[in-house]
Structure 1
Amino acid sequence: MATFIYTGRDAKGAHVQGQQDAATSEDIASRLFSTGITPLEIYEKKNQQDSFQQLLKKFGFGRPKLTDLILFCRQMYALTKSGIPIVQGLSLLSTSAHNEIFAEALRSVTEDISTGRDLAGSFARHPNIFNSLFVNIIRVGEESGRLDEAFLRLFHYFDTDKVTLEKIKSVLLYPAIVVVAIIAAITFLMAKVIPKFAEVFRNFNLELPIQTRLIIAISEFVANYWWLLAIISIAAFIGIRNYVKTDVGRLKWHQNKLKIPRIGDIILRATLARFARAFAMTNTAGVPILTGLTVTARAVDNDFIESKIHNMRNDVERGDSLTHAAINTKLFTPLVIQMLSVGEETGRIDEMMDEVADFYEREVAYEVQNLTKIIEPILTVIMGLMVLVLALGIFLPLWDLMKIAQR
């Protein structure tokens, strides 16, 4: 809920102003019209705390997590199963929600339902929390009178999806931490340790080998121009981040992620597992195939694969079979294509897509385990080579210095 300030004119033409709490400015306008007031201006009241909270929201702080949505679906299943009215259940959950943004969204949904809006439409007004997949499953459950089953399906889907996402993160996190640690260690050596050795070498007028001179030159550059390197790094980070936010940049980034050796294959299989699981759920819930492909394409969180699924949907819309459309995407293995073909021929697409999701998830688990075993020795060798280069660059002149001292 937010506080809105309004100005308007009543039925007699008199100027009126005031403030009210509501979810949106449209709600304020509806209230004013119902009381005979024609609104002229409506704007949200801001204060310093609200501005700070909005800034935090902009950078992603405080946003609802997937665990919030999982818990909500599980609780809504229990409430609808026991026959508690939707408005009462949502009101209860909004007061117990730990995340303020999520609680605010639930209060808004509760108010919308109270004014006559359908449940799916109320959720759809908060796309950053309830995506199109969620909304369509709820809409089917609402129309069929089986909301409890809809919330249970969503709970199982998001719970499984959370495990898949954690596997993807674990694949990327470990190498990233090690690489950052290596860069930090080398930067420290270059900025603090190497310059002291360089000073000693200069005092003795030693003739330094090429690798030592190169290391010292890099070290002096880092020590003297660290601020420039920091500015370049920050500018590069901001530039890349802003580019990835564009449609073209995001598509390129998502496509290139899939080309990373070993890691790209894991990301692809995990993403296809998410698609298969989501599509199976929409099919089980009774969502039409074309609609199911549309909403699951948005749920995969990869623009490149999303574009392939949209192509798949377009092929089906033109009359192709689902299997043939899947072949055209060139994303699925022959085994998966065969499973999909059997499901389409027997009318059990939902069951087969669940099997496909299980197949991909097993492969992801196996590949993640193997990747961890492969990455550790590779990173160890890389670190060893870098240390060796630094050691030779420093200890060779020290060896010459010891010879001079013995004479």
Structure 2
Amino acid sequence: MPSYSYIAVDAMGKEKKATIDAENQNKAAAQLKKNGLTLISIKEVGMLEKDIKLSFGRKVKPRDLSVFCRQFVSMIEAGVTVIDALGMLEEQTENKRLSAALHEVRTEVEKGQTLSEAMGHQGEIFPEMLVNMVAAGETSGNIELSFSRMAVQFDKTAKLSGLMKKSLAYPVVLLIVAVLIVILMVVKVIPGYAATFEQAGMQLPGITRAMMSMSHVITKFWYLFVGGILLIALGIREWRKTESGKLFFGKIAMKLPMFGKLNIKTYSSQFARTLSTLMYAGIPLIHGIDAVTKLMKNRHFQLQLQSAREEVAKGVPLSEPLRKGGLFPPMVIHMLSIGEETGDIEGMLDKLADYYDEEVEMTTQTVMAAMEPMIIVVMAIIVVILIAAIYAPMLSMYNQLGNM
């Protein structure tokens, strides 16, 4: 669907610059007018411009959504109306995309739409799970609980994401440094040394000649290497969108050495936390499974949950199809089964989520601690090879001088 960049003025005279998705420009203008905006200018956003904005624009992170949920709850509990709370949060929020979305939500709520309906129209900003939770809170009359639970959910997501980034930072820096060193040595240093020895009429050792050949190919045909890497990356990116690609990479994610178990624990935590949150809000189990399935990043887990949903619709306890599927760890099946027997599925899922949150944290630290020495060993091997390529001609020269 095309995107349109527009400049408009709201009922308070405040200028607004943003984008809107619509089938055509007329429908985009009509939607803006419906939202109470006076259009000044509008134009279609080109694909390149759109990609750049999506890639480099500041996204709404889980931490931003957590802060929004907590602030909204505080205002509602203090007696502030929903419309006033949205207006204040729009002004206070530092994230421009979230602020613009809150403006649209407030405008639609003022026109009589429910909060969940208005948030649902901002699907790029507010996750479907949050919208469903708000709708459930509106039905039960306890919207504060829905936002409070979602704040916890977003906090957990942000914490896990931060932990992964922090743990990967050092290994990634080491790898980047290693690659840069190799490129510098192969392209600049080794050819310089080798040229000097060739001028002296020396026969270069095999390892040095191999490095020279590599350097020649890289410097002469660098564009082929860069183009090939880009094509491979784009090909993998497109393949991952296909069903076969999703299944392949989903299986790889579960089978990777060290990371496989970590990923399974992460999926288990996400499943338990999300389903628990939805059920506490009064959302039926079947609808909760649907929502969790959409959030799962691994296609194999999605397919198993879809199959489990069909069994649950027939009256079968959720633990049974999950046990037969064999993807979830035994702990998940056992705790879920106890919850079904005691009638406290939500409580057991909460405990499961807490357990796997700790497991993910400990496993991540263990994996990263194991990776660091492995990367250092690999870097040491690379350095030894490069040093050998540089000093082998020198040793050869000394041997020749010694034999004279």
TM-score (normalizing by structure 1):
0.85
Once the two structures are TM-superposed, the CA of residue 186 in structure 1 deviates from its matched residue by: 0.6
2:179 matched to 1:183?
yes
CA distance in 1, matches of 2:135, 2:398: 81
Hey, what does 1:333 align to over in structure 2? 329
Name the CA distance, whole Å, in 2 between partners of 1:58 and 1:246: 21
Partner of 2:12: none
Looking at structure 2, the residues matched to 330 and 166 of structure 1 have their Cα atoms a distance apart, in angstroms, of 30
What is the Cα deviation at residue 131 of structure 1? Answer: 1.5
Pairwise CA distance, 1:177: 3.1
User: Does structure 1 residue 395 correspond to structure 2 residue 353?
Assistant: no
Aligned match of 1:228 in 195, 220, 224? 224
| One-letter amino acid of the structure 2 residue matched with residue 398 of structure 1 | M
Aligned to 1:343: 339
Q: CA deviation at 1:247?
A: 5.1
What residue in structure 2 maps to residue 241 of structure 1?
Answer: 237
Alignment match, 2:57:
61
Over 3 Å counting, the alpha-carbon distance change for 1:250 and 1:60 in structure 2 is: farther
Q: Aligned letter for 1:188?
A: L
**Change in 2 beyond 3 A, CA 1:27/1:85:** farther
Deviation, 1:2, is 4.3
SS of 1:45's equivalent in the other structure is strand
Given that 1:168 and 1:270 are in contact with CA atoms closer than 8 Å, whether structure 2 keeps it comes out as no
Residue 286 of structure 2: aligned partner = 290
| Corresponding position: 1:88 with 2:81 | no
Q: Hey, what does 2:43 align to over in structure 1?
A: 46
> In 2 relative to 1, CA 274–373 (structure 1 residues): closer, same or farther, beyond 3 Å?
same
What is the CA-CA distance between 1:90 and the residue it aligns to?
0.6
The gaps in structure 1 that reach 5 residues or longer are 5-20, 34-41
1:217 equivalent among 213, 219, 224: 213
Q: 5 Å matches for 1:3-402?
A: 3=7, 29=30, 45-46=42-43, 54-246=50-242, 248-402=244-398
1:61 to 1:114, Cα distance in 2 relative to 1, 3 A: same
**Preserved CA contact (<8 Å) 2:336 2:348:** yes
Whether the 8 Å CA contact 1:120–1:136 is kept in 2: the answer is yes
In 1, distance between residues paired with 2:135 and 2:33? Answer: 30
Q: Kindly indicate whether the alpha-carbon contact (under 8 Å) linking 1:309 and 1:329 is maintained by their aligned counterparts in 2.
A: no
- Please say if residues 194 and 204 of structure 2, whose CA atoms lie closer than 8 Å, have aligned partners that are also in contact: no
Alpha-carbon shift at residue 162 of structure 1 (Å): 1.1
Task: Indicate how the Cα distance of structure 1 residues 217 and 57 shifts in structure 2: closer, same or farther if over 3 A, else same.
Answer: same
Aligned residue for 1:12? none
Q: C-alpha displacement at 1:60, in angstroms?
A: 4.6
Quote the offset at 1:54 in angstroms.
4.3
The Cα of 1:26 is off from its aligned counterpart by: 5.8
1:22 shift after superposition? 11
Residues 242 and 69 (structure 1), Cα distance of their counterparts in 2 relative to 1, 3 Å cut = same
CA distance in 2, matches of 1:91, 1:107: 7
Partners of 1:168 and 1:77 lie apart in 2 by: 29
Q: Deviations over 1:241-269 (max 9, x none)?
A: 33334454344334322322111221221
Q: Say how many residue pairs are matched.
A: 383
Shift of 1:101: 1.4
Call closer, same or farther: CA 1:220–1:22 in 2, change over 3 Å. closer
Work out whether residues 168 and 368 of structure 2, in 8 Å CA contact, stay in contact via their aligned partners in 1. no
Change (3 A) 1:178 1:32: closer
Report the AA paired with residue 224 of structure 1. Answer: K
In structure 2, C-alpha distance between the alignment counterparts of 1:256 and 1:185, rounded to whole Å: 30
Q: Distance in 2 between matches of 1:129 and 1:275?
A: 22
Q: Distance in 1 between matches of 2:40 and 2:301?
A: 40
Which whole-Å CA distance do the structure 2 matches of 1:97 and 1:146 have between them? 24
SS in structure 2 opposite 1:258?
helix
Query: 1:303 and 1:43, CA in 2 relative to 1: closer, same or farther beyond 3 A?
Result: farther
Amino acid at match of 2:186: M
- CA contact under 8 A between 2:6 and 2:43: conserved in structure 1? no
TM-score, scaled to structure 2: 0.86
Q: Tell me, which stretches of 5 or more residues in structure 2 are unaligned?
A: 9-17
Question: 1:299 Cα deviation (Å)?
Answer: 2.3
Deviations along 1:263-316, one digit per CA (max 9) or x if unpaired, are 122122112211211111111111100000111222233333233222222221
Q: Deviations over 1:214-252 (max 9, x none)?
A: 122112212222233222223333333333344543443
Residue type at the aligned position of 1:329: G
Q: Would you say the 8 A contact 1:168–1:267 is kept in 2?
A: no
Q: How far 1:76 moved relative to its partner?
A: 0.7
Alpha-carbon shift at residue 327 of structure 1 (Å): 0.9
Q: State how far apart, in whole Å, the 2-side matches of 1:334 and 1:219 are.
A: 53
Q: Distance in 2 between matches of 1:223 and 1:3?
A: 48
What CA distance in whole angstroms lies between the structure 1 residues aligned with 2:266 and 2:79?
37
Look up the SS of the partner of 1:46 in the other structure. strand
Residues 111, 118 of structure 1: alpha-carbon distance in 2 compared, 3 angstrom cutoff: same
Rounded to whole Å, the distance in 2 between the matches of 1:149 and 1:228 is 57
Q: Distance in 2 between matches of 1:324 and 1:357?
A: 19
The letter of the residue matching 1:268 is I
Cα pair 2:190 2:389 within 8 Å, conserved:
no
